[in-house]
Protein backbone atom coordinates (compact mmCIF):
# COMPACT_ATOMS: atom_id res chain seq x y z
CA UNK A 1 0.00 0.00 0.00
CA UNK A 2 1.20 3.48 -0.87
CA UNK A 3 0.68 6.39 1.58
CA UNK A 4 0.97 9.01 -1.15
CA UNK A 5 -2.05 11.15 -2.08
CA UNK A 6 -3.22 10.42 -5.62
CA UNK A 7 -5.48 12.03 -8.21
CA UNK A 8 -7.39 9.90 -10.70
CA UNK A 9 -8.38 11.26 -14.11
CA UNK A 10 -10.92 9.40 -16.25
CA UNK A 11 -11.68 10.09 -19.92
CA UNK A 12 -14.99 8.54 -20.84
CA UNK A 13 -16.03 7.17 -24.19
CA UNK A 14 -18.85 4.96 -25.40
CA UNK A 15 -16.62 1.89 -25.57
CA UNK A 16 -13.84 2.50 -23.05
CA UNK A 17 -12.57 4.44 -20.04
CA UNK A 18 -9.01 5.78 -20.12
CA UNK A 19 -7.70 6.14 -16.57
CA UNK A 20 -4.59 7.94 -15.35
CA UNK A 21 -3.36 7.90 -11.74
CA UNK A 22 -1.23 10.89 -10.86
CA UNK A 23 1.55 11.27 -9.65
CA UNK A 24 2.19 7.53 -10.03
CA UNK A 25 2.13 7.74 -13.82
CA UNK A 26 -0.11 4.66 -14.05
CA UNK A 27 -2.30 4.60 -17.17
CA UNK A 28 -4.75 1.90 -18.16
CA UNK A 29 -7.89 1.39 -20.24
CA UNK A 30 -10.98 -0.63 -19.36
CA UNK A 31 -14.24 -1.26 -21.17
CA UNK A 32 -17.09 1.14 -20.40
CA UNK A 33 -19.40 -1.48 -18.91
CA UNK A 34 -20.02 -3.03 -15.50
CA UNK A 35 -17.06 -5.41 -15.84
CA UNK A 36 -14.67 -2.61 -16.83
CA UNK A 37 -15.82 -0.30 -14.04
CA UNK A 38 -15.36 -3.10 -11.50
CA UNK A 39 -11.82 -3.70 -12.80
CA UNK A 40 -11.03 0.04 -12.62
CA UNK A 41 -12.27 0.28 -9.03
CA UNK A 42 -10.15 -2.71 -8.04
CA UNK A 43 -7.01 -1.23 -9.65
CA UNK A 44 -7.54 2.21 -8.14
CA UNK A 45 -8.42 0.86 -4.67
CA UNK A 46 -4.98 -0.71 -4.20
CA UNK A 47 -3.61 2.84 -3.96
CA UNK A 48 -6.15 3.92 -1.31
CA UNK A 49 -4.72 5.07 2.00
CA UNK A 50 -6.42 4.79 5.35
CA UNK A 51 -6.07 7.32 8.17
CA UNK A 52 -4.22 6.12 11.23
CA UNK A 53 -6.19 5.84 14.45
CA UNK A 54 -4.57 7.37 17.53
Q: Vertex 1, ends 3 and 26: CA angle to 5°? A: 85
Confidence of residue 6 (pLDDT cuts 50, 70, 90): confident
| Tens-digit pLDDT profile for residues 12-49 | 999 999 999 999 999 999 999 999 999 999 999 998 77
pTM recorded for the entire structure: 0.78
Confidence of residue 1 (pLDDT cuts 50, 70, 90): very low
Q: What is the pLDDT of residue 47?
A: 85
* Every domain of the chain and the residues it spans: 7-45
Q: What is the pLDDT of residue 41?
A: 95
15: left (phi over 0), alpha (psi -120 to 50) or beta: alpha
Amino acid sequence: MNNQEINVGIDTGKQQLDIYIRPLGEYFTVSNDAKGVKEAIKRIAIHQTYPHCN
